[in-house]
Each structure stands twice: as structure tokens, then as C-alpha cells.
Structure 1
Amino acid sequence: MEGRRVTASPEPGSLPRARQGAEPQRLLTTLLGDYWFWRQEHIPSAALVRLLEEFGITETSARAALRRVASRGLLVSSRNGRTTAYGLPPRASDVIVAHMRRLLTFGATTPRWDGQWTVVTFSVPEDQRDTRRALRDGLRLLHFGMIFDAVWVSPHDKTDDVVELVRRLGVRGAVVFRARKVADDDLDPVLDRAFDTAALRERYLRFIDAHRPVAERLAMAGPCPTEALRLRTAIMTDWRAFPTLDPDLPAELLPAGWPREEARQLCVQIYDSLGEPAERRFREILAEYDPELAGLAAHHTFAQASALESPATRRHTSFDETTDRDRLDLLAGGGLAG
């Protein structure tokens, strides 16, 4: 096996911790990603508040969500007379496109395995508890699982991502290497300790149980635009948790009857079929405040979003993309039981 000892960079960066965004903020980012991606025009704040009211969010909570998202640099505001409007900064637009591709392509294929693990070991002094916690959070975002307190593993080759993470945090003495498990052929103890596949399976099954009745209803009759917007947003809000929760284990490591494919097919069916009526409702609400802007709204299918390419030229590592998704509140965060 080949290992790499990682030393701290002179000016390490900091890692933002994953967090569970408030419901209005998650709804807002989902709606903008679904109907306003890659647009630079600003939407009147009253229209955004009205959109959130479709989901039972009060005006006070909606305006608070706008302020919080803007305070984190994920929206920028402008004024025209007495009207305040919000839009996506150029960098955020590029990241949203990259995130959309990740979100809507996730689960389309199952990776193959070369039989090797990426292993990370580290020792962080007790007086650097915040750094140790940030390192663990970063490893979780990279879908590593913990087999011992300071030994984390992934079946994917994420050596470069971990090296960057460790350097940005200023952790000294961490080691990352690729290795095979050679003691015996039974991988169940490793999987049970590192990845709670039972809880993840239950999460997928709950997703299927919650949304299958919607698919059955759609097979009989289409919903009105108002209901279409609610149903389409609901299933995408639920689906977007899985790229964070699911470590995307190779086929060789998955239990029999893994339900992700069924869940994804259900999501594609509902999300794509509701696109046109949901877009119509989004436009109707926006037209109450700015008819010209309403004409710019557009929906996308799974296949269309998967084909999008961001104009950004900077190369993103997996760690960069994970951090950006967290900054945009597009990570669901929280535990599997949530």
C-alpha cells in the first residue's frame, strides 16, 4: 500500500460545517434551482415571499429566510425605488448548475470497486477540539465512514480530496493511504461500523412510501398548477438529501435489494411529469409582480439538467463541490433519522 503523510499549509483555510437549513431557506433554494437557474435578473422580494406562502410559510418567516440567505452571500439585493429585489450572484449561479447536475445524476449508475479503500488516520490534540470536529465533519461530507475514532475509510479513491481538506484545516500528522482488507473476506464488520446502510435503506423506503401515492394519482389525472408546484418541490426537497446521506457504495458492497434505483425512478417520473404545470404556477405568481420576468422562468427535466455545463473554468475537486453545496444550503444535513 502507498501512503502519504500530510502536513499543514502555512495558512490553512477553514471548513464550514454542514448544517440543516431552516425549511423556508431550503424551499427557496429548491425553487430557484428548479425555475431560475442560470439567471442573473433579480426577482422582487414580494414575489419570493408569495412563492414561499404557497407552502404555508408566513410572510415574516419568508422575509427572514431571504435576509439569512442574503447575509451568507448566496443572494444579492438591489433596489428600484421602493422595491427590493434579490438575485443570484454569478458565482452562485455556476455552483447551482454544478449542484443540479450532481443532484439529478446521483444514483443513475452504481460505481464499480477496485477492492481498495482510502484510509485516513489522524491525531489531533485535545486543545484543538474545533479543528478535530471540523476534520470529522469534512470527512463525513466526503462520505468517509468511521471504523475507529481516528480511522476513517472510503471505498472510493479520494486521496487528493482528503489531502486538500487536511491542509486547509491545518491538521498536522494526518496520514492518508490506499489499502486492501486482507485479514478475511468478510466485509460486513467494516460496513456495519463505518456506514449505517440499514438506516439509509429505511430512509429510501420512507421516500418511496411517501411519494408512490403521488405517482399513482398522476397516472389517473394531472393536478392543477398550484398542486403541481407543491408536489414537484416536495419530492425534490426530499430527494436532495440523498447525495449527502448516501456514500454511493460500489455494487459489490451493497446489500441485496438496495432500494435506491426504485426511489430514483419514482423521483424522475414525478419531477419530470409535473414540470410544465409547476412552471406555469411559478410564472403566474411572478407575473403578479413583474410580467416580463415571469416569461424568463423555465423548468428542466432530469435529463436536461444532467446535460448542463457550467461556464466556470476553475477545476473543482470533490471537496470544493461539497463545500460549495453546503454554502448554498443545498445539502440537507442532519442525521439519517431526520
Structure 2
Amino acid sequence: MDVEVPTRTVVEALVGVDGTVDAAELYEVAGELGMSDQQVRLCVKRLVAEQKFTVEGRGRQAVLRMTPHARRAAEPDVEFVRFMYRQDAGEVSWDGVWHLVAFAVPESQRPARDALRDAIVRLGGAALHSGLYVSPHEWEELVEGEAAQLGVLSTVTFLSSADLRVGRESSPVDLAARLWPLDEIAARHERLAEVARVRLRRLQEGVARVDLLRIAVELAAEFTRAVEPDPLLPPVLLPAPWVGAQARALVARCWAEVAASADRLPALFRMYDDALDDLR
């Protein structure tokens, strides 16, 4: 099963712990993914123009260096990954409390209002009404941080309740199925699971470094595609067995194989492996 990988994802995924990318390795891995040298060169040129990388040297002899600001922005949220797997393992339970956020940002601050709404959805919130969102997680600190950064914290109201009803529906499981697109979330994880199964078999057979890095990049791209839109609802609110947990378990096995096989593991995959280390 092929995986669509953006060129800049390849570049960012191959950043080492010292913040550099070996151009020779970049071109080799990108070539394995079906990308032309010209495609890579244009991507690097854009990344340099965006001040995300600097380049020392030319062509395949070059070394790309990620700027400090870009490194901070690109770092995966290790705590988020750790929470995800702890919840999948049953180490995090839901207390039955719904956490609600309401905001009334004036039209004069429309860009901030749109940005806050996008942030709330990105954090897993589901819309109950216009300007009113809900999550089963304690997300107040995260939402407050987003609102404060946008300068609209004074327009935001936080509340929590163990008694949530939409129309006549009050069952937490049925509410979750109504409020979040579980079929779409499951479909993305079903694809992730299939991608991970195929890659795991190849990793267990043993592969050369360039193939290992290609597999790692493909997994990272598909993992991000599946997980970023996932609200990570507590297992008690989801159908059982939940394909999301199954897919992520397969990916964790792949990360372990990558970590065991690779010298000079890129920083991204080292962070993933470190996040899972405590759960093994």
C-alpha cells in the first residue's frame, strides 16, 4: 500500500538530533519515495526562503541545518503521544465529566475568532452550537493558552458538567457517536493499520538503512494523517474493539523495530520511541 508523503515531510522527518539533514541521505530516501531531485531542490529552496533551514555546501554534498525557531515549531508533542498510548492501554480513565467552552468574539476580531475555533477543533472539541464546544478531556488550560495568545481570553467561558443532553440524547456513548465523526476517524486508522502491518513485516525481515528511513517517513506521514484529526475520546465512549488503538499499537511495534535497527536515528523517531519507552 503506497503512502502519499509531502516532500517537506521527508526533509523535516530526516532532521537529526543535531538539527541537520545530510543531503545525500535526503535525496536517496526521497528517490525511494518516487521524488525527483528537482522536486527535492525546489522544496529545500522554499524551506530556506521560509527561514526554516540554512544550507551549507551544494547538491548531495550539502548539509541542511534547521533553524532554532523551526526546530521548536516542528517538535512533536511527546506528552500528547504518551497520553494517547496510556489511554489506549487503559491507564487513563474517564470520570464522566464533560468540559465545555463557549466564546463570543466580536465581528471586529473575526480572524482571532476563526483562529480560536480552529484551535478548539484541533484540540478535539465538538460543536454543540455556534460558539459552544465540548470535550471529555480537561482541556481548559490548553484552550485558555490559545485564547490568551489570540488576545480574546476575556470572551471565553469555561464550564463542566456530568449532565449533558442534546435533544433527548443523554447517553455518553450515543452522544460521542453523534458529536464526533467516528466513522471517518475509524477509516483513517484502518488505513494506518494496514500501512503499519505491511511495514512491520518488512522491518522484521530486515532492510537497508535507506529502506528503513523510507518506511519510517511513510509511517510518520500516515500516523499524522490519522491522529491529528482524532479527538482521542476515552475508550468507554468508543466502539469496542476500537481500530484506533489497534492501529497505534501496530505503529508502536514499527517504531520499536526502527529504533532497534537504526544508527543515528533522526530526532523525530527518537522522540516517538522515547515517548513509548515507559509503556513497554
- TM-score scaled by structure 1? 0.66
Counterpart of 2:236 in structure 1 is 252
- Aligned residue identity for 2:49: S
Question: What are the equivalent positions in structure 2 for 1:111-122 lying under 5 Å apart?
Answer: 111-122=92-103
Contact 1:120 1:153 in 2 (8 A): yes
**Residues 118 and 68 of structure 1, relative CA distance in 2, 3 Å threshold:** farther
Contact 1:116 1:155 in 2 (8 A): yes
**Residues 22 and 271 of structure 1, relative CA distance in 2, 3 Å threshold:** closer
Counterpart of 1:163 in structure 2 is 144
- 1:235 pairs with 2:204: no
How many Å apart are 1:216 and its aligned residue? 4.0
How many Å apart are 1:200 and its aligned residue? 0.8
1:41-80 Cα offsets, whole Å, 9 max, x none, are: x446565344422322122221222233333343234459
Aligned identity (percent) is 21
Counterpart of 1:134 in structure 2 is 115
How many Å apart are 1:137 and its aligned residue? 0.9
Please list every run of 5 or more consecutive structure 2 residues that lacks an aligned counterpart in the other structure: none
Aligned counterparts of 2:69 and 2:113: Cα–Cα separation in 1: 30
Aligned counterparts of 1:91 and 1:28: Cα–Cα separation in 2: 16
Aligned counterparts of 1:200 and 1:54: Cα–Cα separation in 2: 29
Aligned counterparts of 1:100 and 1:192: Cα–Cα separation in 2: 27
Question: What are the equivalent positions in structure 2 for 1:241-280 lying under 5 Å apart?
Answer: 241-275=225-259, 279=262
Counterpart of 2:30 in structure 1 is 52
How many Å apart are 1:28 and its aligned residue? 1.5
1:250-274 Cα offsets, whole Å, 9 max, x none, are: 2322222112232122112223224
Counterpart of 2:41 in structure 1 is 63
Choose the corresponding residue for 1:306, options 268, 275, 279. Answer: 275
- 1:174 pairs with 2:156: yes
Aligned counterparts of 1:52 and 1:274: Cα–Cα separation in 2: 18
Counterpart of 1:207 in structure 2 is 192
Choose the corresponding residue for 2:63, options 50, 68, 85. Answer: 85
How many Å apart are 1:185 and its aligned residue? 4.2
- TM-score scaled by structure 2? 0.77
Aligned counterparts of 2:24 and 2:210: Cα–Cα separation in 1: 18
- 1:30 pairs with 2:13: yes
Question: What are the equivalent positions in structure 2 for 1:87-106 lying under 5 Å apart?
Answer: 87-93=65-71, 99=76, 101-102=78-79, 105=82
Say what the alpha-carbon RMSD is for the aligned residues.
3.2
Contact 2:28 2:210 in 1 (8 A): no
**Residues 118 and 87 of structure 1, relative CA distance in 2, 3 Å threshold:** same
Contact 2:100 2:133 in 1 (8 A): yes
